[in-house]
Chains A and B, each alone.
Chain A
């Protein structure tokens, strides 16, 4: 059966994931060493050890995401996170920065290393470089590849591949977002948060809901209408008139939709993919329980050759609509 890799932003969400049938849960410490550094989220050191024990007792595994890029002079914070994840009994750590990967490989030779999606390794040469240089055992593929490209990659590499099947999409080369950094002065890759909450303001203006990031208006939606996350990449903007056409208002970079690749699971299985990943460490235990239950049923159906269940999770998706993203290349 394909492995289901599920998110947990809190110990309660970790337990919900394991109880709902997750084979593996990924989570992070409560600091800027991981890419979901949100207020009130993530794990203390004792919580991580307890979470690992809870998962192990039920036959599940825990991966610790340490997938931001260490700042010069501050590497000790990231080194400590790797050591503490190892000490807590994590099955593996998910890393992106080559320097941190080298440190982990040298200092903790028995620790299993996964290459984060943030490393954006999208071709066999890049993946083989990480595997041969540092002993990386699994790569999380960027959400820019078609199923055919994933098949081609798997033919030329010897390590496992993990792909996203559900949740938020990032239009940048996996988190390397100059838009969010420019608007807030905080980098998704180094501070671990895209559209930091401290820079987001919601307001009701003339009967409409407005969302601003760093003072920039991102959305104006009628009350009661679906609302997306306050990210610039999914903002609704007006492009000025040009010689060739009138001014246009719309989602210039990306529509506010979420990934749902349920229907592609059998093809991903045939493409040689080992593990399916669900995005959403910032979401609640209710989201985790519902999504994990649905995807556990889907991977069991795929294993049995049965048809894929569809359309069960629309309410949980951003924009309340879903796409198969780049996998089928119908994505704008």
Chain B
């Protein structure tokens, strides 16, 4: 569905800066993520959301996220890749779907350093993240209230899981 939408208003560079700010906030509030990742924190994870126009490269230890146009070659260098639709990523992050079950059914695929992917999955699962709450905390009042309502409306309309369920 997202592929049919016009190109995002943010450039990849701006999207990367915004996502890096979010990543830094999450890492600051959840230090256990990096300790669970251990040596795999230094790995570069390619997040390939197949129904989104941008590829994401996440570097947990550097607390950096960069966005890359899908059409741009070559694919950024990475140690591990996770591929799937946005709905699968959001459902796994928010505890409504099990990562192994998504893998069994072929809805998520992985390549590269399997240990790093497993460590990331386990670290994020333990962190019980809530994307709506994280975004809300980045906004100042009264924008936070507006954002929460926006996210709730977006969740209802799209069917995406946008906040923590378990």
Contact = CB atoms under 8 A, between A and B. Distances in A.
7 contacts: A197-B114, A202-B111, A202-B114, A221-B106, A227-B104, A284-B95, A287-B98
A201 B79 CA distance: 12
Contact of B166 (A9, A201, A285): A285
B39 to A, nearest CB: 9
Nearest to A280: B100
Interface stretch (B67-75, B116-124, B136-144): B116-124
Interface stretch (A36-44, A143-151, A237-245): A36-44
Contact of B104 (A200, A228, A290): A228
Interface of A: 9-13, 16, 38-41, 196-198, 200-204, 209, 221, 223-228, 282-287, 289-290, 315-320
A198 B101 CA distance: 21
B101 A316 contact: yes
A113 to B, nearest CB: 29
B122 A286 contact: no
A197 B119 CA distance: 10
Interface in B36-58: 36-38, 40
A187 to B, nearest CB: 17
A202 B166 contact: no
Contacts of A286: 92, 95-98, 125, 165-166
Contacts of A315: 101, 105
Which label, helix, strand, loop or mixed, suits the secondary structure of the A interface? Answer: mixed
Contact of A198 (B36, B115, B126): B115
A11 B109 CA distance: 26
Given A197-B118, A320-B105, 10 more contacts: A10-B125, A12-B126, A223-B106, A226-B104, A227-B104, A228-B104, A284-B95, A286-B97, A286-B125, A287-B100
A202 B98 contact: no
Contact of A224 (B99, B106, B166): B106
Given A40-B37, A228-B104, A285-B166, A209 B125 contact: no
A320 B117 CA distance: 22
Contacts of A201: 114
Interface in B60-97: 92, 95-97
Nearest to A39: B119
Given A204-B111, A223-B106, A316-B101, A39 B128 contact: no
A203 B113 CA distance: 11
Contact of B98 (A12, A228, A283): A283
A38 B122 contact: yes
A202 B81 CA distance: 10
A12 B30 CA distance: 13
Contacts of B97: 286
B135 to A, nearest CB: 21
Contacts of B40: 39-40
Given A228-B104, A286-B97, A315-B105, A12 B116 contact: no
A225 B106 contact: yes
Contacts of A225: 106
A284 B109 contact: no
Contact of B105 (A11, A16, A41, A226): A226
Nearest to B126: A10
Nearest to A199: B114
Contacts of B146: none
Given A10-B122, A39-B115, A40-B123, A202 B100 contact: no
Nearest to A209: B109
A9 B114 contact: no
A260 B107 CA distance: 23
Of listed B38, B118, B126, residue having the most chain A CB within 10 A: B126
B166 A39 contact: no
Contacts of A198: 114-115
Contacts of B36: 10, 40
Nearest to A47: B32
A224 B88 CA distance: 14
